[in-house]
Amino acid sequence: MRVLVIGGGGREHALALGLAADAGVERLVVAPGNPGIEAVADVRDVVVTDPDAVAALAVETGADLVVVGPEAPLVAGVADAVRAKGIACFGPSAAAARLEGSKTFAKEVMVAAGVPTATAYTCVDAVGVNEALDATGAPYVVKDDGLAAGKGVVVTDDRAAALRHAGECGRVVIEEYLDGPEVSLFVVTDGDTAVPLLPAQDFKRIGDGDTGPNTGGMGAYAPLPWAPADLVDRVLAAVVTPTLAEMRRRGTPFAGLLYVGLALTADGPKVIEFNARFGDPETQVVLAQLATPLGGLLHAAATGTLAAHPPLRWREGAAVTVVLASHGYPGTARTGDPLAGAEQPGVVHAGTRRAADGTLLSAGGRVVCATGTGADLAAARDAAYALLGTVRLADGQYRTDIAAAAVAGTVRVPTR
């Protein structure tokens, strides 16, 4: 099978590593890729949000399967354009990707499907915003309605800060605060059959102890030793199955990766958000544990044959990834800093580029992730931080507490 992956961040590097390890993948092209991906795939240039350009590249490279990594190309209709050429594509149509592209649309689907989620208000002016903030009370959750790379959300007790963010967003969703540990559940689906991957946890805030502003994600681990044994079954029954049914009913079946972001509240799991693609950096840890060949799984989802796919196999143990971010991130990130130690197994490239002389430079907010695996979470965590310690970036920022509470056994699901 010849596979074309679209994207050039840490998620796509992790996908490329998984696909390159699949004996069924004979050729792997990633566009635009990054310097880390170059070690395992041919790298081509493309404007990822240009559906015609991506479809033409799929034809030119003889792809049997296109895997679309990021959300922006999906929302732009890249998967539709690829399928129109008769090529299998892992990734939802533009119509189905609205589950991520519009928080209001996602809420409508959840309400119609009876999916547990935070009560939400869509507001377009200051009067509406004030009414919604009164209705929810603090802590205030204020979300940009459109795509904002995970950074369009402000959670704060400070009403003035909530109002300020709402003012910056235009159309804004204000919702009830969900209290409880967060879980990311990836579900591979062809629109009918749903295959859950390992639940993972990511860390959104920039600072240790979940302090500071939200980021795209500063680290992750899987599996979750503290999660209730029936968590995945419960989420499939209460969230995934009804959501997929509602999307089919609307004539826009969702096929690809349904990312379910949950809070495990005292009233059970509730959806914080849907994404239409693999999460970054959870992909790094989930795929590190997947023993089933990745290409075959994604191809089955892209061709509507997931029901016939064998059950997934997982490696023993656990995986932890820690993000190394640029100075200034998640504000204005400084780029162009030299990076050392980034070309070794386990280091996934998120925002890097190669200078003319071949040296690696930082080229984004999140620069690399160090992924460690081990017999248990403590060993995986030690391995991830040991690896990170060998990577050098001037003024680089990273959290020191990724997976720490899970290792210490202090993650608690609230109860009534």
Stretch that binds ligand AMP, among 34-42, 174-182, 323-331, 372-380 (CB under 6 A): 174-182
Closest approach, Cβ 287 to ligand AMP, in A, equals 20
Kindly give the pairing relationship between strand 88-90 and strand 65-68.
Answer: parallel
Cα-based torsion angle of the residue sequence 271, 276, 280, 284 in order, rounded to the nearest 10 degrees: 100
Q: Within 265-304, which residues bind ligand AMP (CB under 6 A)?
A: 272-273
Yes or no: say if 88 and 64 are a contact pair by the CB < 8 Å rule.
yes
Closest approach, Cβ 182 to ligand AMP, in A, equals 6
The reply on whether position 141 binds ligand AMP by CB under 6 A is yes
The reply on whether position 155 binds ligand AMP by CB under 6 A is yes
Strand runs (DSSP E) across 199-351, as ranges? 201-202, 205-207, 211-214, 219-222, 256-265, 268-275, 318-325, 339-340, 347-349
Cα-based torsion angle of the residue sequence 64, 281, 201, 222 in order, rounded to the nearest 10 degrees: 60
Q: Within 313-342, which residues bind ligand AMP (CB under 6 A)?
A: none
Residues 6 or more apart from 91 whose CB is under 8 A from it?
Answer: 66, 67, 68, 73, 74, 78, 79, 97, 256, 257, 276, 277
From residue 191 to residue 220, the character string flagging contacts with ligand AMP as x (rule: CB under 6 A) and all else as - is: -------------x---------x------
Whether residue 181 has a cis bond before it, omega within 30° of 0: no
Stretch that binds ligand AMP, among 1-9, 161-169, 172-180, 388-396 (CB under 6 A): 172-180
From residue 92 to residue 121, the character string flagging contacts with ligand AMP as x (rule: CB under 6 A) and all else as - is: --------------------------x---
Total residues found in the chain within this entry: 416
Stretch that binds ligand AMP, among 21-29, 53-61, 170-178, 303-311 (CB under 6 A): 170-178
Closest approach, Cβ 310 to ligand AMP, in A, equals 32
The reply on whether position 182 binds ligand AMP by CB under 6 A is yes
Beta bridge partners of 352: 362
Among 18, 35, 51, 150, binds ligand AMP (CB under 6 A): 150
Angle between helices 94-101 and 241-249 (to 10 degrees): 130
From residue 242 to residue 261, the character string flagging contacts with ligand AMP as x (rule: CB under 6 A) and all else as - is: -------------------x
The reply on whether position 153 binds ligand AMP by CB under 6 A is yes
Size of interface with ligand AMP, in residues (CB under 6 A): 17
**385 exposure class (CB count in 10 Å sphere: 0-12, 13-18, 19+):** middle
Yes or no: say if 3 and 63 are a contact pair by the CB < 8 Å rule.
yes
As a whole number of angstroms, the distance between CA 278 and CA 285 comes to 11
Closest approach, Cβ 243 to ligand AMP, in A, equals 16
Closest approach, Cβ 103 to ligand AMP, in A, equals 7
Closest CA to 227 of 377, 334, 107, 349: 377
Which residues of this chain interact with ligand AMP, rule CB under 6 A?
Answer: 118, 141, 143, 150, 153, 155, 175-178, 182, 204, 214, 261, 263, 272-273
